[in-house]
Amino acid sequence: MKNSPSISFYTLGCKLNQAETAALNHAAKEQGYTPVDFEEPADVMVVNSCTVTNRADRKTRQALYQARHLSPNGIVVLAGCFPQVNPETSPEIKGVDIVLGTRDKFDLFSAINDFEKDRKQLVRISPVDNHERLNSAFVAASDRTRAFLKIQEGCNNFCTYCIVPYARGNSVSRDFDNTIEEAQRLAEGGYKEIVLTGIDIGAYADEGRQLIDVVKALEAIKGLERIRISSIEMNTLGDDLIKHIGTSKKVMPHFHLSLQSGSDTILAAMERKYLTADFTKKVETIRKYIPQASIGTDVIVGFPGETDALFCETLDYIKEIGFSYLHVFRYSARKGTPAATMKGQVPEMGKKARANILDDTDRNLRTSYAKQFIGTRQTVLWERHEEDFLYGLTPHYNTVKIEGKKDRQNTISEIVITKDNII
């Protein structure tokens, strides 16, 4: 390969995948690569895949075809969850040179070097059913003002609809000291906010230290202004952490609690390990200590057995809780999961109709939540600049927009929230 080869990445799926792509992009620069947009030809084109839905599978294949079309002579890499779950069919996808599993993708550059020796397809898909710690060389830096810091991998829950435990393996946690050292480097590199991420970050455990210990250690880092916790399971969010966030000057009052359904019947079929009463109690605890906390959630519509009446239970429960926002997903049967063979599969038209109802509900919830901050003073981390406007996030995860110069990007300032500047 020529000097200073070009490389591009295409990321599908969750924020953890985004964090991992950021890490690989950072490592690529250290290896002497020049990152370019995925829409451009490159010497190496990497698709960091997702397989959580059938749609994600299709997008993975489409990205691979696009990569090969753009770079007929380049190296096309399929990495991540798709090949981990589909080890037999992944190497058969036309135009793919290198196939790397969920944990093998962090050896991307050695794989590229090995491939170049004889230019024969290289496949490395290691088992994920082990208890090894995360790769301590993982670097979470990105080109934005927020950095994603991966502290946990895998899941032990095995919900009946979910392929993730098969794609990501059992729960493993990152070394505590290594985590804090990396956060220190990110702060020294100018990042104002760190987002703690993982598949089930509430399950973090390293030699007796838990998520709250990570948070407290991060708060002591000079220059780090904000800490945000990404999606977390309700039953792994401890009351001690909630209370701590209520008094913290650095941890943002923002929770993304995955509900999935507001029907106890469906929750039991999903094997979610809690009922709506448990979820309600957790939300009440959050609002007791952090009254205006942003509480978002994920909801799956059209799970097998979900009747119109059971969907209405979910809709009523969502309105009762009064979430700040929703992420709505249509159930997608995944081969190898128990739900894929359950009776009562919901037709696609029914899923779409229910998703549309929840999308409308989401818009109303976002508007209602944002309104309560109009007239208040809020700090904003300005993350991007486009066409003379600055865009940023408040602590409560509201997006605001003001006129401003680019040199204010990656700074924090206080503004009065108005109906015109909140998005």
pLDDT confidence of 134, banded at 50, 70, 90? Answer: low
Q: What is the pLDDT of residue 138?
A: 52
Q: What is the pLDDT of residue 133?
A: 59
Cβ atoms of residues 290 and 246 within 8 Å: yes
Q: What is the pLDDT of residue 361?
A: 98
pLDDT reading at 142 higher than 60: no
Across the range 393-412, mean pLDDT stands at: 94
Query: Quick one: what percent of the chain has pLDDT higher than 90?
Result: 79
pLDDT tens-digit readout, 66-82: 999 999 999 999 999 99
Burial tier of 64 (Cβ tally within 10 Å: 0-12, 13-18, 19+): buried
Question: According to the per-residue pLDDT averaged within each range, which of 23-32, 105-114, 119-128, 306-315 is highest?
Answer: 306-315
pLDDT confidence of 143, banded at 50, 70, 90? Answer: low
Q: Which amino acid is at 8?
A: S
Taking CA atoms, 154 is separated from 25, 294, 327, in Å, by 22, 26, 21
pLDDT reading at 2 higher than 80: no
Q: What is the pLDDT of residue 65?
A: 95
pLDDT confidence of 14, banded at 50, 70, 90? Answer: confident
**pTM for this model (two decimals):** 0.87
Which three-class secondary structure state does DSSP give residue 350?
helix
Token readout for 327 is: 């992420």
Cβ atoms of residues 107 and 100 within 8 Å: yes
